[in-house]
Every structure is written in structure tokens, then in C-alpha cells.
């Protein structure tokens, strides 16, 4: 005879299943595979060598992170790219001039490693 437990909602049942040792082991395996693919993709495009692939474990979830804290803090730009920018700088005499910082396409390191679709965030217009 089966015993039916009332877990008071779908969320509690999902969390109970998610923390089972077999489920956590499967998540760790997938996390390792994605991190290994992401590291290989990042190595193929590394310029200055500051960005790294890190893994974090939450209470239930497993995370693969593109980290650029030691470099230019450009993890978002590495993943999704950036638009061309025009900035005002001053020369050695203090005279302002316009400097164009070229845009770059995103590498989609994490998206490709996890076999997710490449999507760039939509442009926001502040009028």
C-alpha cells in the first residue's frame, strides 16, 4: 500500500526532490561538463587572461560563472558584447577630444557551453 504525503504545495515537493542525493549528483555532473566546455571556449578567446570560469553551489542549484573581477570587470561584455562608445577625454594640455571605443560582438561563452540559444539583451531607450 502506498503512503501519500501532503507537502503543502508544488514548490515544497520540488525542493524535496531537488535535494535528493541522486539529483544533486546529476546536477554536479552537468555543472562540471558545462564548466569544462566554458573553460575551453574561454581559453580559445583569451586576450589578457583575467577572466575565469568559476563554479558555485547554492542550497539546491549549481552555478557556472564567468568571472572577470581581476580584469576590467567586463564579464557581461565578454558574454553579450558591447556597442561602440564615444567618450570625451582630455589630452595632456587639458583640451577635450572625442575618443571612439569600438564595439565588440559577444562570445556567448556560457550560452554555448550550456547549449543555450545566443540572445543579446534588447536595447533600452531612455527618452
Annotated domain spans of the chain: 10-80+106-113
Nearest to 15 by CA among 60, 55, 77: 60
Per-block mean pLDDT, blocks of 10 residues, the chain (127 long): 68 86 96 97 83 94 92 86 91 93 90 86 49
- Structure confidence at residue 11 (pLDDT): 77
Q: Which residues pair with 85 in a beta bridge?
A: 101
Residue 122 is predicted with a pLDDT of: 58
Q: What is the pLDDT of residue 126?
A: 45
pTM for the whole thing?
Answer: 0.74
- Residue 18: name the closest of 66, 58, 65, 68 by CA: 58
- Residues with Cβ within 8 Å of 99's Cβ and at least 6 positions away in sequence, in order, are 86, 87, 88, 89
Q: What are phi and psi of 16, to 5 degrees?
A: -60, -40
Amino acid at each position: 500500500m502506498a503512503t501519500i504525503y501532503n507537502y503543502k504545495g508544488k514548490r515544497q515537493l520540488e525542493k524535496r526532490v531537488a535535494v535528493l542525493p541522486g539529483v544533486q549528483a546529476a546536477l554536479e555532473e552537468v555543472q562540471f561538463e558545462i564548466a569544462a566546455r566554458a573553460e575551453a571556449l574561454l581559453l580559445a578567446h583569451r586576450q589578457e587572461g583575467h577572466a575565469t570560469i568559476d563554479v558555485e553551489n547554492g542550497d539546491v542549484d549549481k552555478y557556472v560563472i564567468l568571472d572577470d573581477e581581476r580584469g576590467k570587470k567586463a564579464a557581461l561584455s565578454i558574454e553579450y558584447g558591447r556597442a561602440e562608445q564615444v567618450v570625451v577625454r582630455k589630452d595632456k594640455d587639458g583640451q577635450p577630444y572625442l575618443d571612439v571605443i569600438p564595439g565588440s560582438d559577444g562570445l556567448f561563452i556560457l550560452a554555448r557551453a550550456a547549449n543555450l540559444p545566443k540572445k543579446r539583451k534588447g536595447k533600452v531607450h531612455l527618452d
